[in-house]
Chains A and B, each alone.
Chain A
Amino acid sequence: MTGEQVLIFLAGIVGGALRVGAPFLFVSLGECLTEKSGRINLGLEGVLVLSAMSAFGASYLSGSPWVGVLAAALTGALLATLHGVLCSLPRVNDIATGIALMLLGTGLAFYLGKPLIQPQAPQLPAIALGEWSSSAAVRSALQVNALVPIGLAIAVALRWAFANTRTGLLVRLAGDSASAARALGYSVAGIRIAATAAGGMIAGLGGASLTLFYPGSWNEGISSGQGLIAVALVIFARWSPLRCVGAALLFGGAGAIGPALQSIGIGWGYHLFNIVPYVLTLLILVITCRPGSVVAGSPGELSSR
């Protein structure tokens, strides 16, 4: 490897961390908010795919990518609300409902998104971080999604809201002790549905960044389980929105190894490098979880920890 290649490779990893990491960031923040209220939403995978489709469709039809972003957030909130409402019914388990919504979300997206596979939709603008370099490869590798700053702002806002606002405290109360929330006269189910819906809204932005920035097109293989990895990411981040940012970037970087190697002409083991994020997730779960004990920071009401 020459110095030039090393630079391109490193830029590929850093740029890829921001590019591949963006959907992880939004989905993990959405999951973090949902889990803080005491529910798990495995259906965020379905939310991600459906909102990716609706973002692409809205952007294509309206000609503005920001309309697409809005549509993605609304779709995400809608599907997540369904999850929240279903889980509030008696004897309905949130894990099973999540799996069902995963299937429903992808089914709906593929069904409605069939005519969108061919066309090109207007894309989100990119923020150029690589202007300092003379190498075109480095510059193109460091094009960053315009939604990433929004994601960072949401992370900071969530962190602040959980610590300082009445709403944030209520969400945490519903997640840590449902009976305490009930004793104070709040509807636990209502709080959880609202938190799940808001989480779905944030996760929907992740869908928008998939189809409106990277990879930037709609097809049926658009998501490769980011919505599920997010559940593991939140455990890794110990339910802290700020740590979710770091976790998402780490996973983005791990997912970027394969494409970055390919960009400098190393094609061997492409599929092996693609499984690095999954293996990393498993390793992190093995390291952070302990049998029979609860991970520090875990909301007390979570059905499976």
Chain B
Amino acid sequence: MTEGQLLSLAQQVVSGLSAGSIYALLALALVLIYQSTDVVNFAQGEMAMFTTFIAYTLLTWYGVPFLPAVALTLVFAFLLGYLVERVVVRPVEEAPVLSVVIVTLGLYSIFNSVAGWVWGYVPKGFPSPISGGTVWFLGLTVGLLDLWILGCGLVIMVLLHLFLRRTTLGTAMRAVAHNRTAARLVGIPVGRMLSLGWGFSAMLGAIAGMLAAPKIFLEPNMMAGVLLYAFAGAVLGGLSSPFGAIAGGLLVGVIENLLGALVATELKSGLAFFMILAMLVVRPQGLFGTVHRRKV
């Protein structure tokens, strides 16, 4: 392999990490919800898309400056997630898994069609504080936008880690995920924690959506592919481990890019399914997960 080939490989890895950090954020959102409520939220991507449209509306229709628009969007995302749990998911909490799946699929289609109705299906550009331009780094040409996405993703992941590990609220949320009865007995309001978890997950999704939008354009179906890769990442890392979700998401991004560059771009879309299937057959608990014990 020549030096040039090596460099271009390294370049693929860097842009893979950038895409991967978006998958990782969404995978984290999926895992947070799955851990605490045993629900796989198929609408996670659509909620992310919807909130990104809110940011877009604030930015371009109302001329709100970038940072306040992001802040408002995050507040909206939190409330959206909180309400979805409280109003739609809570009533089917005790229902069979299939009902819950159908509920989140229903949410998927509701968010998708409402977004189409309000904002239309024409792809829109989404502003970003960092746009084009590249930097040279160790002989690599790295897109500034890629660096920005990767940087933001990593910062959010560190913040989430600190929140879950260092604050009492975060510790309580982990406690609810692991042992609901014991959590109730020490006086943790379990229901409120579940709503909070959905709220935070929706915020993660909103960040993923806003980071992805400048790259893949804003339209109602923008997150469909992203969600699939996020699922692959979550399954790869283990649905029970936030760390695994991050590692899995980043890994999926890199593998996706390398496969596209080295073999064939056409294979990219099948990759996510292949990885989900392969992982479920070989190591269902994922790379970093522990064997899932059913909560009773």
Q: Do A and B bind each other?
A: no
